[in-house]
Structure 1
Amino acid sequence: MMPGNVLVTGGASGLGAATAAEILAAGGTPLILDRKAPDEKVPYRKADLADTAATAEAVHELATEAGRLDAVFTAAGIDACGALADVPADDWEQVVKVNLLGTAATVRAALPHLAETRGKVVTCASTLGVKAVSDATAYCASKFGVVGFTRALAAETAGRIGVTLLVPGGMRTGFFDGRPEQYRPAPDAKLNDPRDVARAVLFALGQPPGSELREMVVCCSEETSWP
C-alpha cells in the first residue's frame, strides 16, 4: 500500500529526486516542491522553503490540484560550512530557515490535507542531527532541530497521522558540490546511494495503518559520522 500522492520537498535533485522516482515506480504520484523544476513531468510548484507563506501556498495548491494528499517527505536541505565566526550571518540563518523552518512550514500546511487521509510524514534529519562536528554549526543546529520537531510532532499527532524521522548518512549526490575542497568528501569516502535511502522512505510510507516506523538511520556500513 501507499504511496498515492506524496509531496516531496527538494524533489528535483538528490535524495528527493531518487524518492520521487521510487514513488513513480510504485505507481504513485510525486508532487514536487523545489526551487527548480524536476526532470520528470510530474506536478510541481516552485518555492523557496525559507519563505513560509510561499511554501504554504505551494503545498495547498499541489494538494488541492491532486485531489488528495497521502504523504509528505521533506528532503530539501542546504548547508553553509565553516567556523561560526566566518560564515556570514545571512548564510547561517538561511540554513536554519530552509532545513528546520521550511520543514515545519511544509508539514504545517500539509496537516489539514493529511488529516483527511490519515496520511504520513517522513522528515529528513541527518547523522549530524544526532552527532555534532566542527564547522557545521548551522547544519547541526537545523538538523538537531528537525529531530526534536519530528519527535514532538509524532507525540502531537499520534493515532491520526503517521510520523517517521529519517536520519541519513552521507550520500552520493550534488549536496557537496560548490563547497571548498576541505569540506568535500574524499574521492574514496564511504557514501550511500540515494536510491537505497529512497527505498527506505518508501518502506516507512508503506507501513499498514496502526503500525509506524518512528525513526530510522540509513547509512553506509562504514559511515564515519555514525554512531
Structure 2
Amino acid sequence: MRLQDKVAIITGAASGIGRASALLFAKEGAKVVVADVNEKGREVVQQIVSNGGEAIFVKTDVSRGHDVKRMIDKTVEAFGKIDILFNNAGIFEGGSVDQTTEENWDMIISINLKSVYICSKFAMPHLLKSNGAIVNTASVYGLEGGPGAAAYCASKSGVVGLTRAMAVDCAPKVRVNCICPGPIDTPMLRTLSAEDIKSMESQIPLKRIGKPEEVANVALFLASDEASYVTGAAYTVDAGDTAT
C-alpha cells in the first residue's frame, strides 16, 4: 500500500475528483479526512469504513480561516498528525470580465485560490513535522486562457503560481505540486449542455471526457513517496488538450 499509515486531508471530497481520491487514498492505506461543506461527504466516509478503511467527515467552508483551523485541529485530534493535504475544493462560474459581478469574482477567488492558501497555512506546521506533501487542484485553464471564464482562469492560474512559490518556500521538507485537469466527468462539468460536452470531446485528442479516478491516480502518485523527487510541478491530466 502506497499510503500505509499516512493521514490525508482532502477538501471538496464529497464528490467528483475529491471523492474518487478519498476512496483511492483509503484503499492505499491512508486515514482520510473528508473535508467539504456538502454533507454528502458523510456518505464517502461510510463507504470507506465499510471497505475496512479509516475516515472522518469534517464539514468545512474552506474559504473561512476559522473553519479550516477547526478542521485541522479535528484531524490532529483524531489521527495525531497530517502527512498529506490535497487542496481540491473548487467551483466554476462562467463569464467574461464585463459579465462577472464583483460578488462572483470574490466568491470564485475565495473558494478556488484563497482556500489553498488558508488550508496550507494551517496545515503547514504539521506537514513540516511529517515531511509531508501538498497536492493542489488547478486546471488547464490555469495554464492557458479559456472563453467566458475570466474569474475561473484567474483563480486557477493563481493556484499554479502559489504551488510553485510554496514548493520553493517549503523545500526540502514539504513537496508541493498541482494537477491541471482537462474536462472531467464531475458535477461541475455536468452543468454544461450535452451539446457543449460533445463539442468538447471532438476537440480532445483522446476524444473523450476524463474520469475522476484518472485524476485521482495522479494525485495518489504526487502524494506518495513515489514522487519523492517531484516538487513545483504542474501535471496536466487532459487527454492531450493542451498539446493541440
TM-score (norm 1): 0.90
The aligned residue for residue 130 of structure 1 is 143
Equivalent residue letter for 1:61: K
Shift of residue 206, structure 1, vs aligned partner: 1.6
Q: Does 1:163 align with 2:212?
A: no
2:3 equivalent to 1:2: yes
- With 57-66 and 181-190 compared, the bigger mean Cα shift is at 181-190
Q: 1:191 to 1:226 in 2, by over 3 A?
A: farther
Measure how far apart 1:21 and its partner are: 0.8
One-letter code of the match for 1:35?
A: V
For residues 173-220 of structure 1, the C-alpha deviation after alignment (integer angstroms, 9 at most, x for no partner) is 1112445x4995237723211101101111112225852254243434
Identity rate, percent: 25
Tell me how far apart the structure 2 counterparts of residues 28 and 128 of structure 1 sit (CA, whole Å).
Answer: 30
The 1-side partners of 2:180 and 2:84 are apart by: 18
For 1:99 and 1:60, the matched residues in 2 are separated by 22
The reply to whether residue 203 of structure 1 matches residue 215 of structure 2 is no
Q: Secondary structure at the residue paired with 1:135?
A: coil
* Closer, same or farther: CA 74–209 of 1 in aligned 2, 3 Å: closer
- Note the residue ranges of structure 1 that are not aligned, 5 or more in a row: none
How much is the aligned-residue C-alpha RMSD, in angstroms?
2.2
Q: Report the number of matched residues.
A: 225
Report how far residue 65 of structure 1 moved: 1.9
Structure having the larger proportion of residues in helix: 2
1:208/1:192 CA distance change after superposition, 3 Å: closer
Match of 1:66 in 2: 79
1:128 and 1:209, CA in 2 relative to 1: closer, same or farther beyond 3 A?
A: closer
Give the superposition deviation at 1:124: 1.0
Equivalent residue for 1:57, pick from 48, 51, 70: 70
Query: For the Cα contact (< 8 Å) 2:34–2:44, is it kept in 1?
Result: no
- Are residues 45 and 178 of structure 1, via their aligned partners in 2, closer, same or farther at CA, if it must alter by over 3 Å? same
SS of the residue 2:171 aligns to? coil
